[in-house]
Structure 1
């Protein structure tokens, strides 16, 4: 009997009734009560009583996973009905709890800071604490590196209408922008996101007209966006100066990686940039162009016309996951069987895809819209990789489940490689193989070419901002230089206002928010290359590495589980190989088409 693969997810198994669930309402009421109790207990905590502190931390972790699951569940409700006001109200309730928890963490930091040295050592060796001592040590180090806690609280309060207020204003400004797009003789005012979708049109005239419209509108608003970026970067620089921090300190520590390691990675990327330029050069030839323009770079030169039914996509993923390990394959079967995946193509859904972690239920939920392309198959594999990572971490303490962005993409990218490489290997024709290779290359270059360019741009922008505000023209000039380094002389026209639409540049939670994705992508590629070398013995190492992602630095993960020193360039050279090999095969197969 043929298996049935349902394209809609089951949220009621988590909270029956969805937004009207009495269990959901009860959880919110409970969490509000628990938060108040935890604030009281923290205020009265004795920094010298390690047993009581260990018990307090257990309660804090229970609150953490319950409030986190609530927030993730509400995101799921929103994703399938973006216009529901009831869900917006639930989101406000969750935001209230998150804000309260951030204050609670500052109070816990205060307790840690007041502990005598011998008491601190005793706490770290406590039987109930050993499994997450890395997290506590991180918080203590971060607190030691900051200003006195009352000053930090004051900064947090002022940031609401200052630092974070500018980020909110950016979102509002970007949301209000309208791009005039002409189609079939009619001009329609579209949002930036809607307009950008036309840049992926296979019709170059459509892309060119859209690009011109995007640039014209951007130019009119560039000064306002430059002012926002100057305020955000200026605030951050002032704060770093007060704390005595170097420019990359926060970003490196948040990603649990050393600056030396990242610079080694970037150096390897730069040395291998010529192969990417070979790809873009061939792409121009295949498109019949002397040079590409910026609106040509993301459009594939070959496409696969075949559409895969959802059932076939599920079977391909399950098969390739089983080929790596029975545990991973069984996990994928369970996710499909128990309807963890929302894939149906219908109106009212949010754009994009994500994996929501449900740590209380020890499950995940995956959201996307399946249209039958192989990119959709890869997206499901990617999100299932995240879900498997969640699965491995669910038995760990909540504090040990906290992973940095730099390793959060490890399992997802690994899963992508498993599925996409198998499709490339078994492609039925050269044209289909070229289309799949190009998908792999373009996905990869986003992380190992475009994002490193943004990282370098952002560093130079911050260095120049130290001398005063930058004009929109100066920001565009800095961005243009990095684009020239990326593409060489292969591009005849750049978008001078690309920086306006890169939301990570305006993020106030973490500076240099582009580079963690490059770290994660290449770290995963390095793991994947080792998996291919080591075969059957590797899955156990892989699971152990994922389990430790919440309690080790990236360097320690690599050394402890892979026996590799990632401060050495050899690891990153190997990590670049999957895309380099794909480009070389693409160049060979497309020779007959030019």
Structure 2
């Protein structure tokens, strides 16, 4: 008898009882006490001029443990909130976790102070320690960043104020977004849909008038709440700019570039190549409009499919497709996917009380991951699972390293996910038996590419312009919406007639307090991964080992260093980025050729 594939994840194996788990509460208490103890130990070691590195390494080990623990608790609570939006106690636990995180961040300021106080002799001795060499990149990086910040007492104050300020605004945004409801009429009855549910209804509905009605309702809801979201966005960006000003940072991209471990020259080269090739996106959208017998598209036409496979895919079939394609690349990746499906790492059940979207969380102490989505039987759901499993595989490789060595830049965080997505989708395109089926899959690939090559780079331009305006004072909701519309017009030209003026309200990355300019890393990662995927097809057997080695070094190298060491590529040369765009360009070319006789 065929083994049943569980569609709900197992969280009790981590902390039984969910948000009221005694084990979870006890662990939070343990973390808080450990942070206090470590802070005291750090104070005793400053200034550090001793020859022996043993006391330092012991403190480093303790710090990495509480960092792993705090991160795991935070990720676990994200899972709880996602699986049941009605669990109010999760919000209380998130607040408790935020306090622990704030204490941890203050402890990190003390840690940075300790690193700064090391004598040259002590630092050189530390560099020779075998254990420390594993995460030396991280320590060097921290030492360099210390010089760019204010004295540690001021940094501690900033962290304290962020709990009820900076971080609280992000939490407020998440609560407000999760509460937005779009009235949608179905069979004569009006129901309140979440933003995600409303978008899904528009995306998969065949009734044009119904789609228009839902979008009108969506616009009305967004317009009535725009001032609230503008206030949140202004307070988050204002706090960030105040901190930058206090630190003397005159480049608003400085923190984002450091977090992504990438040079501004590389980003500029990539975005220039993307802009040069955006005509491909407009060619595709023009054909899409012709197929729909429309003069222009609307913003919500872009992600919809002109060609759809009517075949529904079961969850068991989805698992088989993914496992087979993963095994075709490497036995290690295939075995990992089987484990994730069978051991309850994936929450896939389609329920009304869940949050929308998909994500993968890392649980470093358990050395596991959890994947979240709502599986509705579309091939896009299969691609989403493959994407998130890529993240989980990346996590599994990094879980074998010390915590300091796992801290990958956000621009390479999408490397394994996009790679895994390509494995599944390209195989399906190759095996398609009809033009209709092939076009449906090609369109899925192109629409995904249009997000990374079109919408996200335009969001990057929007955000840079918004911050310029914010430096001069409060930016009202109407001005933000107008800027958003202007940005989309510059991207799509005449191919799109109606734009999403309220996109700035529904993209959580704009409201991230930990990761500024959190949109563009997705394009960097997408293209970087595409380049790796292209090389894997060219080099074939043996590449899987190089791929794993690259993933393992993502917490110990810059993006440029990763490309040079494992791919022998120069990322300031536009040829790498042009090659990375080619798979999408080829898909568009094939799509246009197959649809020539249909218009």
TM-score class normalised by the smaller sequence: over 0.9
Partner of 1:5: 5
The correspondence of residues 479-490 of structure 1 with structure 2, limited to 5 A, is: 479-490=484-495
Q: Which residue in the other structure is 1:203 paired with?
A: 207
When the two structures are aligned, how many residues end up with a matched partner?
594
Deviations 1:239-266 (A, max 9, x none): 3233222121111111110111001000
Matched residue SS, 1:492 = strand
Residue in structure 2 matched with residue 428 of structure 1 by the alignment: 433
Matched, 1:520 2:525: yes
TM-score (norm 2): 0.92
Residues 439 and 534 of structure 1: CA distance in aligned 2, closer, same or farther (over 3 Å):
same
Matching of residue 37 in structure 1 with residue 37 in structure 2: yes
Q: Which residue of 2 aligns with 1:73?
A: 76
Q: CA deviation at 1:92?
A: 4.1
Contact 1:208-1:295 within 8 A present in 2 as well = no
Partners of 2:93 and 2:550 in 1: CA distance: 36
Give the distance between the partners of 2:239 and 2:29, measured in 1 at CA.
37
Contact kept, 8 Å, 1:170 with 1:225, in 2: the verdict is yes
Instruction: Verify: 1:133 aligned to 2:130, yes or no.
Output: no
Tell me the equivalent position of 1:111. 114
The alignment status of 1:233 with 2:234, answered yes or no, reads no
| Residue deviations 1:426-475 (CA, integer Å, cap 9, x gap) | 11211111111111111121112100001011112222333444444433
Alignment CA distance shift 1:182-1:286 (3 Å): same
Q: CA RMSD in A?
A: 2.4
- Unaligned residue ranges in structure 1 (runs of 5+): none
Corresponding residue number in structure 1 for 2:216: 212
CA distance in 2, matches of 1:295, 1:354: 23
Aligned with 2:135: secondary structure?
helix
The 1:4/1:471 distance shift into structure 2, 3 A limit, reads closer
Do the aligned partners of residues 409 and 457 (structure 1) sit closer, same or farther apart at CA in structure 2, a change above 3 Å counting? same
- Three-state SS of the structure 2 residue aligned to 1:352 is coil
Q: Choose which of 243, 246, 249 in structure 2 pairs with 1:242.
A: 246
Cα distance in 2 for partners of 1:161, 1:307 equals 47
| Unpaired stretches in structure 2, ≥5 consecutive residues | none
- Could you say what secondary structure the match of 1:366 adopts? strand
- Aligned partner of 2:496 among 491, 494, 516: 491
For residues 208 and 80 of structure 1, do their structure 2 counterparts lie closer, same or farther at Cα, with a shift above 3 Å needed?
A: closer
Alpha-carbon distance in 2 for matches of 1:377, 1:177: 28
Over 6 Å off, 4+ runs: none
* Structure 1 residue 60: Cα displacement: 1.2
> Residues 337 and 461 (structure 1 numbering): CA distance in 2 closer, same or farther, change over 3 Å?
closer
What displacement does 1:396 show? 0.6
- How has the CA–CA distance of structure 1 residues 371 and 190 changed in structure 2, closer, same or farther, with 3 Å as cutoff? closer
**Residues 69-468 of structure 1 aligned to structure 2 (within 5 Å):** 69-85=72-88, 87-171=90-174, 173-174=176-177, 177-188=180-191, 190-200=193-203, 201-245=205-249, 246-346=251-351, 348-468=353-473
| Distance change >3 Å, CA 168–CA 97, structure 1 → 2 | closer
Does the 8 A contact of 2:196 with 2:357 survive in 1?
no
- Do structure 1's residue 53 and structure 2's residue 56 form an aligned pair? yes
Deviations 1:210-264 (A, max 9, x none): 3233334444444554444344334433332332221211111111101110010
Indicate conservation of the 8 Å contact 1:321/1:332, yes or no.
Answer: yes
Measure the CA separation in 1 of the matches of 2:377 and 2:509: 30
Q: Report which stretch shifted further, 427-436 or 228-237.
A: 228-237
**For residues 545 and 310 of structure 1, what CA distance do their matches in structure 2 show?**
31
| Separation in 1, partners of 2:158, 2:24 | 34
Q: 2-side partners of 1:31 and 1:572: how far apart? A: 44
Change in CA separation of 1:274 and 1:79 when aligned onto 2, cut-off 3 Å = same
In structure 2, what is the Cα distance between the partners aligned to 1:92 and 1:235? Answer: 20
Indicate the SS of the match to 1:299. Answer: coil
- Partners of 2:589 and 2:288 lie apart in 1 by 13
Distance 1:66 1:477 in 2: 43
Indicate if the aligned counterparts of 1:352 and 1:368 stay in contact, CA closer than 8 A.
yes
